[in-house]
Amino acid sequence: MLMRRTGAVLAAAAMTLGLAACADAGEYSSVEEKIKDGGEVTIGTKWDQPHLSLKQGPGEPEGFDVDVARYIVKELADGQDVKITWRESPQASREALLQNGTVDMIIASYSITAARQNYVTFAGPYVIAHQDTMVRADAAHIAKATDLMGKRICQVPGSNSYKRITESPPDGQLGLPAVLVGANSYSECVQKLISGDLDAVTTDDMMLAGLSSHNPDKYKLLKDPFTDERYGVGLKKGDTATCEAVNRAIAKMWRDGTATRLLRKWFGQTGLTLPTTAPPAEGCS
């Protein structure tokens, strides 16, 4: 009898420990549930893009994408405090970081594309940017995007921007022959532009406006946009519950004026023409 009782106690203890282990592992059915019930979330963003997301020193990153992320998290948490852990998410790593669970969501000038939707569930878009081109201030021979034929442009792993120049639709846009010069990030592209290793940096206008903001006299934006870049919130493939919740938060962000205020806060002095209405939401899949 004692042995049976002892066995029952041990079995009950093992079950309790097992349940505790599951709770400690933080296994949730969606990121929305993790935010509401767990009170924490890990967000991937970039750390080298002024006005969008820039991390300087030991503090948290700051910029438009960061403020959008905070708003969305607060909405998903019904206004409760949530611990946000920020992770750097370069272009080439974003899909992998979502798939392996290193981050819960990515808000990092992450354009929604058909190819990426094979691996990522996107909420949004929360804003629409447009691909443009930046050259040195004295580069009079490049006045529009089609002048990039045969020119040296930057190629960043994981980014589609160079393809918009060199390939034709549907994956590209202009189908121009150009010389691709590799760089690990767009901040490195700007360094190569100034050093003369590049003729132009072409990517989203919001990114270019931020990158040129510290030395505006050195750069010139062509203001010749030729794409619509729909910035989405990246989630692990299949997390439609969180996607739908994020879409509701984005709609509210535009409805209550927060999106317009944040755009003016970060880009009001850059000369960009800022959107004033919410972009149409896409379905969660």
Q: What pLDDT was estimated at residue 226?
A: 93
Do the two domains 29-128+230-267 and 131-221 of this chain adopt the same fold?
Answer: yes
Residues 6+ apart with CB under 8 A from 280: none
pLDDT score, position 21: 34
Task: Determine the pLDDT at residue 9.
Answer: 36
- Please report the pLDDT score of residue 216 as a whole number: 85
pLDDT for 197 equals 97
Give strand pairing partners of 193.
none
Six-digit token pair at 4? 């049976």
Say how far apart CA 207 and CA 211 lie, in whole Å.
6
Strands 83-88 and 53-54 come out as unpaired
Tokens of 101: 């669970």
Contacts of 39 (CB under 8 A, 6+ apart): 77, 80, 81, 82, 83
pLDDT in tens, the chain (285 residues): 433 333 433 334 333 333 333 333 348 899 999 999 999 999 999 999 999 999 998 999 999 999 999 999 999 999 999 999 999 999 889 999 999 999 999 999 999 999 999 999 999 999 999 999 999 999 989 999 999 999 999 999 988 899 999 998 877 899 999 999 999 999 999 999 999 999 999 999 999 999 998 888 899 999 999 999 999 999 999 999 999 999 999 999 999 999 999 999 999 999 899 999 999 998 897
The confidence score (pLDDT) of residue 265 equals 97
> What's the pLDDT at 5?
37
Fold of the domain spanning 29-128+230-267: D-Maltodextrin-Binding Protein; domain 2 (3.40.190)
Domain covering 131-221 assigned CATH 3.40.190.10 in the classification: yes
Q: What is the pLDDT of residue 3?
A: 36
What does DSSP assign to residue 119?
T
pLDDT score at 247: 97
Distance in angstroms (rounded) separating the CA atoms of residues 236 and 171? 23
**Per-residue tokens: 282:** 């896409």
What is the model's pTM?
0.87
Q: Give residue 153's pLDDT.
A: 97
Output the DSSP codes for 252-276: HHHHTTHHHHHHHHHHTTTT-----
pLDDT confidence of residue 20: 35
Domain ranges within the chain, ordered by starting residue: 29-128+230-267, 131-221
